[in-house]
Amino acid sequence: MSATHEIRPGQSIELLKELHILTRDGKMNQDSRRKLKQVYHLYQFIEPLLKELKQDHADVTVVDHGAGKSYLGFILYDLFFKALQDQSHIYGIETREELVRSSEALAERLGFARGMSFLNLSVAESIESDRLPKTVDMVTALHACNTATDDAIRFALSRRARFIVVVPCCQAEVAAVLRKNKSRALANPLTEIWRHPLHTREFGSQVTNVLRCLQLEAHGYQVTVTELVGWEHSMKNELIIAQYKDLPRRRPAERLAEVLDSLGLEEMRERFFTPA
């Protein structure tokens, strides 16, 4: 059956085919129909933020960190930026050169190259790179695994991003530290929360996102955490949205330190006390 009635007006059919949401003959099966709904649901969270930025100034800059195949960047450009005809720009940052090259080729084919760039850079390189603006409006990271989400946050803080939108994925680093220091923390009855390996993994994932939220608040951001409803095939559907409001920093910074100390995570202080 034709999928035209389910697609937003102005959406590039060719892009949806390239993203394998539509088949080459423009059809859609049940799995791809669900995928399209997921894409549009994520866009519903981001679109109001982009509109707010546009009201504030003409040209909007978005950096998509750990972009992979730049799935998110292409959808944002197609649904929002394509019609603007201004100097707004999306940058996709990715360490795998072959993915950067394929994204560049796709942008050329679709006529998106005017407003999209793809950079083969590490996090450290992107923070220092003069190929990116000194300040950016929004940083996104969709399903960035383990420390890649923290890297995106570090970049966003360094470039004074007004909005940060991340959907974290597999998070093993905090769980590994909890596991390593478990015997030292046994006197604390709270250790029971992560005594079993499965609980260590799940609790570590939860704590990681709590620490990220406190970190952002300690840099003056207002943070909202919600479910990215609709990603039925992924348990990693926590959406963190942060907006810079220059809020008081002292209390969240103190709470961040207290959480690290009470859980035996002192060695992670440098990661979560990222300087702005």
Given this model, what pLDDT does residue 229 score? Answer: 64
Residue 115 makes CB contacts below 8 A (sequence gap 6+) with 77, 81, 82, 88, 89, 90
pTM for this entry: 0.91
Given this model, what pLDDT does residue 236 score? Answer: 63
Given this model, what pLDDT does residue 1 score? Answer: 43
* Four-CA torsion 9, 10, 14, 15, nearest 10 degrees: -90
- Asked whether the predicted pLDDT for residue 275 surpasses 70, the reply is no
CATH code of the domain containing 69: 3.40.50.150
Assess if residue 44 is contained within a domain: no
Over range 243-257, report the average pLDDT: 96
Assess if residue 256 is contained within a domain: yes
pLDDT tens-digit readout, 101-134: 999 999 999 999 999 999 999 888 999 999 999 9
In angstroms, rounded to a whole number, what is the distance separating the alpha carbons of residues 93 and 70?
9
In angstroms, rounded to a whole number, what is the distance separating the alpha carbons of residues 117 and 28?
29
Assess if residue 94 is contained within a domain: yes
Assess if residue 31 is contained within a domain: no
Strand arrangement of the beta sheet that strand 163-168 belongs to: 116-120, 89-94, 61-65, 138-144, 163-168, 238-244, 221-227
Question: What is the number of structural domains in the chain?
Answer: 1
In angstroms, rounded to a whole number, what is the distance separating the alpha carbons of residues 151 and 144?
9
- Asked whether the predicted pLDDT for residue 184 surpasses 80, the reply is no
State the residue range of the domain holding 94.
60-272
Assess if residue 48 is contained within a domain: no
Whether residue 233 contacts residue 241, with contact meaning beta carbons closer than 8 Å, is answered with no
pLDDT tens-digit readout, 232-241: 544 567 899 9
pLDDT tens-digit readout, 64-91: 998 888 989 999 999 999 999 899 999 9
Over range 189-217, report the average pLDDT: 91
- Asked whether the predicted pLDDT for residue 183 surpasses 80, the reply is no
Average pLDDT, the chain: 88
Assess if residue 229 is contained within a domain: yes
**Nearest-CA neighbor of 72 among 168, 165, 142, 169?**
142
Assess if residue 110 is contained within a domain: yes
Given this model, what pLDDT does residue 102 score? Answer: 95
Assess if residue 39 is contained within a domain: no
